[in-house]
Chains A and B, each alone.
Chain A
Amino acid sequence: MYLRRLLLGALAFAPVVAAMPSFAQAALVPADAAKAFITQSGQQLVSVVNSGASTSQKADELRQLVNNIVAVDQVGDYVLGRYLNVASADQHAQFLSLFHQLLSYNITFQIKAYQGLNFVVNGVKPMGNDMVVDTTITSPGKAPADVGWAVDEVDGQPKIVDVIVAGTSLRITTRNDYASVVTDNGGQVSALLKAMQTQITKIAAAQ
């Protein structure tokens, strides 16, 4: 009786199991392509950061670059996580718009401290559904930073979907950060949107 139930259960799940590996393989970007993409993106980044342009001009160029090389919408949905099902269509759209702004601000915050940036691509290895390209970023007077860039295919183009520093993933950290805001406010997505808006206002005032 028990055996039959087990077998039936296994049969029922067979198509799911069969579909899984093909799904994983379909998403994987070839190693060479991922490496080439990160090398090229790194060069663009270095040329913006090391240029003689003013800080605000650099920030604008960085924002544009981020939108080109990062799959911001996909990362945003990942960060929203299970609240994607809770949020209304309006809230979702508003979240993505705020997320775009915050991501650019955060990246600019990190990058603007660097001068004489140097970007070296080391290796590439698959991790889950993504290809992770390992790089070392150096700038004078600072300890070198090992940064991994997770690359995934989005609309047929390789895009950055995560940044990994010392074993910590930026998208997981952000997801936990945002989830905490929602849970602390009784599961209301509107509270998260409000917190994001406050944060943008704060950063804009400081700049």
Chain B
Amino acid sequence: MGNVSFGSSVWVEAALLSNTYYMGPPSLGGQVKLGLNSMKMTVKREISRALSLAAPGLLVSALLAGCATPPPKTDTADYQAYQQQNDPLEPTNRVFYTVNDKLDTYAMKPVAQGYVDITTQPIRDHVGNFITNIGEPARWANFMLEGKPTDAGTAFVRFLVNSTIGIGGIFDPAASLGYPETDTDFGMTLAIWGIPAGPYLYLPVFGPSGARDVWNLPVEYFATPMKIAPASGALTDFSYAETGLHLVNTRAAYIGPIDQVKATALDPYATFRSLYRQSRDSELQLINERDTPVPNPWAHE
């Protein structure tokens, strides 16, 4: 898990994986329990479908419910600050922040804490490597769309090396060979295509996002090897287990930073908003930095 930023993106990570919510109970020892019966699966699939259908409706009603009142344009300094903040849906966003915060306090964090208690840092690192590796094909595709050939090549080599020498991605030998992980997603692709970040959005369950980054959700849903491979019961189980493990492992990595923000920030909502935006900006910067142009061998002097 290369890019550990202050907690703000945990819920985003969750969002990326949100086929459904399956988390192994902490008593499973963080191990993946495969083999749910198909009955349970169907029910879960139905629930997740219902949720995904309900989400846009919820969102629209929420959008209509609460908008921030902009300060008068004559008050230039305040108006500029409002523009810069770019959070016209703040009242609604804050409601969802409170909901997610409760969800985190009573569900995600205790599970993550239990997971930390029964695992060691090296185990969590290997889990992180494994999950990162599964994401490499999607990263490769996004880098291609972004027109970043070097980054795309790196993602390709990483997937190849780590899936084989790295034993299915549990180890990350590619990084020591000079191919470090560079994160990207469809939101970054849109950014590179020149689409501005747009107003800030705080989504129920998924967390910090924005008018541009929210498009990452539907794309990421279909962009894992598990979705592309032919459907099978075992693969679906694996996908659920991987989703749960990803959620817990990521939340575990952020226990310290999130506690820190909650304990020290005067306004945690605004702090997470700032951290989310900075972390997206820095991700974009890193994509550009790492994609050093390859000299054109056919170029005339």
Taking Cβ atoms with an 8 Å cutoff, the residues of A that contact B are 82, 102, 105-106, 109-110, 113, 141-143, 145, 165-169, 172-173, 176-181, 183-184, 187, 192, 195-196, 199, 203
Closest Cβ of chain B to A27, distance in Å, is 22
The CA of A110 and the CA of B259, in the complex, are separated in Å by 10
Closest to B77 in A: A82
For B4, list chain A residues within 8 Å (CB): 143, 145, 166
How many residue pairs, one in A and one in B, have C-beta atoms under 8 Å apart? 86
Closest to B87 in A: A180
Q: Which of A141, A142, A168, A181 touches B266 (beta carbons < 8 Å)? A: A181
- Contact (Cβ within 8 A) A167 B264: no
The CA of A106 and the CA of B234, in the complex, are separated in Å by 47
- Contact (Cβ within 8 A) B271 A176: yes
For A141, list chain B residues within 8 Å (CB): 120-121
Closest to A175 in B: B274
Q: A105-B264, A141-B120 are in contact. Are A168 and B270 (CB under 8 A)?
A: no
- Contact (Cβ within 8 A) A177 B271: yes
- Contact (Cβ within 8 A) A179 B81: yes
Closest Cβ of chain B to A189, distance in Å, is 13
Per-residue A-contact encoding for B1-34, CB less than 8 Å = 1, 0 else:
0011110000000000000000000000000000
The CA of A195 and the CA of B271, in the complex, are separated in Å by 15
- Contact (Cβ within 8 A) B271 A167: no
- Contact (Cβ within 8 A) A173 B264: no
Task: Say yes or no for B253: interface residue by CB 8 A criterion.
Answer: yes
Task: Say yes or no for B104: interface residue by CB 8 A criterion.
Answer: no
- Contact (Cβ within 8 A) B77 A168: no
Can you list 29 A-B contacts (CB < 8 A)?
A105-B264, A106-B264, A109-B260, A113-B256, A142-B256, A143-B121, A143-B253, A145-B4, A166-B6, A166-B279, A167-B5, A167-B286, A168-B6, A168-B274, A168-B279, A168-B282, A172-B274, A173-B271, A176-B271, A176-B273, A176-B274, A177-B265, A177-B270, A177-B271, A177-B274, A180-B85, A181-B266, A183-B85, A184-B267
For B101, list chain A residues within 8 Å (CB): none
The CA of A145 and the CA of B81, in the complex, are separated in Å by 33
Interface residue tally for chain B (C-beta within 8 Å): 34
Task: Say yes or no for B288: interface residue by CB 8 A criterion.
Answer: no
The CA of A180 and the CA of B265, in the complex, are separated in Å by 11
The CA of A167 and the CA of B286, in the complex, are separated in Å by 9
Per-residue A-contact encoding for B104-138, CB less than 8 Å = 1, 0 else:
00000000000000001100110000000000000
Closest Cβ of chain B to A79, distance in Å, is 11
For B46, list chain A residues within 8 Å (CB): none
Q: Which of B6, B85, B120, B283 touches A165 (beta carbons < 8 Å)? A: B6
Q: Which of B77, B78, B274, B283 has the most CB of A within 10 A?
A: B274
For B177, list chain A residues within 8 Å (CB): none
